[in-house]
Structure 1
Amino acid sequence: MEVLYTRAEPILYAVLRAAFGFIMLTHGLPKALETSHGSMADPMAGSINLIQNVMGLPFAPQLAFLVMLLETAGAIMLAIGLWTRPVALIIALEMAGISYALGPTWPWIDRGIEFPVLMGFLALYIAVRGGGRYAADRQFKYAI
């Protein structure tokens, strides 16, 4: 079985990285296309509200725009393995911010914090590990 695991690992890691990128994309596209997402009628307004009123950060519309770019273009880059480490690190920071905004009550039932916490640790793992064998980064001499 060890041979099977060894051969399957790079392929399954690429699938994991791509799946994570596509999951992030499902959060970015509704913001970019100004369409509803689940129970959120206006996801971009929800992001602006979270950044401005919950986190208390200035420049909320501009930061929400950067979040939308990360969750669309960054998600696609992550899925194909382009600039994997920096993109995954920025996603990990975004997930840490979302987890902070949802805490300290850790609302496991209502829009659960477990998802951004898990996604943050997955992004951190991808940032440390890099794109893997089947990533666009491998096409460049110096993978980031």
Structure 2
Amino acid sequence: MVDDLTSQRGRLLFAPLGAFYARFQPASYALLRFAFGLTMLTHGLPKLLGMPHGSMTDPMAGSIRLIDNVLHLPFAPMLALLVALLETLGGLMVAIGLLTRPLAAMMAVQMIFISLALGPTWPWIDRGIEYPVMLGFIALLIALRGGGPASLDRLIGREI
């Protein structure tokens, strides 16, 4: 692996920490993947269930408006449903590490579109792109790295 921490022990300020970092690196990546997947799930589930989410009383309607009025894409209700399914089912699957690469790649693309729609304002508190940019980079990392050792992809023995 490119980021093998055991080869960096001589460069660490506290060299004994190298073994700790190496030992817990797979678990920390699994936790990141799990937290990202659950974060996506919490954004998709309210859309599918028609529940309020944060300050949005109807997040599905908000997604449809964003797709139709801001991005000017056709079939906005169908695309909003696909987004809600990607966030809900895809988020759950990324959390457990199943079909991790393609789902995370789709989520990274989704975050690009959200950033284009919300931009150029940066602070999230002002409905800016700070949050989707961060989620997009995490999705990209997961798409490039895959499920990792603690994933269903690895357990099955197949990964895209």
Task: Give the TM-score, by structure 2 length.
Answer: 0.87
The answer (yes or no) to whether the contact 2:47–2:59 under 8 Å persists in 1 is yes
Could you tell me which of 94, 107, 115 is aligned with 1:78? 94
Structure 1 CA distance, aligned partners of 2:31 and 2:62? 30
The answer as to 2:154 corresponding to 1:138 is yes
The answer as to 2:126 corresponding to 1:110 is yes
Could you tell me which of 88, 93, 110 is aligned with 2:109? 93
Structure 2 CA distance, aligned partners of 1:113 and 1:73? 24
Could you tell me which of 40, 48, 51 is aligned with 2:67? 51
Task: Give the TM-score, by structure 1 length.
Answer: 0.96
Structure 1 CA distance, aligned partners of 2:157 and 2:59? 39
The answer (yes or no) to whether the contact 2:38–2:92 under 8 Å persists in 1 is yes
The answer as to 2:49 corresponding to 1:24 is no
Indicate the residue corresponding to 1:10 in structure 2.
26
The answer as to 2:54 corresponding to 1:38 is yes
The answer as to 2:140 corresponding to 1:124 is yes
Provide the alpha-carbon RMSD of the alignment. 0.9
Percent sequence identity over aligned pairs: 59
Q: CA deviation at 1:139?
A: 1.8
Structure 1 CA distance, aligned partners of 2:22 and 2:60? 42
Structure 2 CA distance, aligned partners of 1:47 and 1:81? 26
Q: Secondary structure at the match of 1:49?
A: helix
Instruction: Compare CA radii of gyration and give the structure with the larger one.
Output: 2
Structure 2 CA distance, aligned partners of 1:142 and 1:73? 20
**Relative to structure 1, is the Cα distance of residues 142 and 35 closer, same or farther in structure 2, using a 3 angstrom cutoff?**
same
Letter in 1 for 2:90: G
**Relative to structure 1, is the Cα distance of residues 5 and 107 closer, same or farther in structure 2, using a 3 angstrom cutoff?**
closer
Structure 1 CA distance, aligned partners of 2:21 and 2:101? 24
Q: After TM superposition, which residue ranges in structure 1, 4 or more long, deviate above 2 angstroms?
A: none
How many residues align structurally? Answer: 143
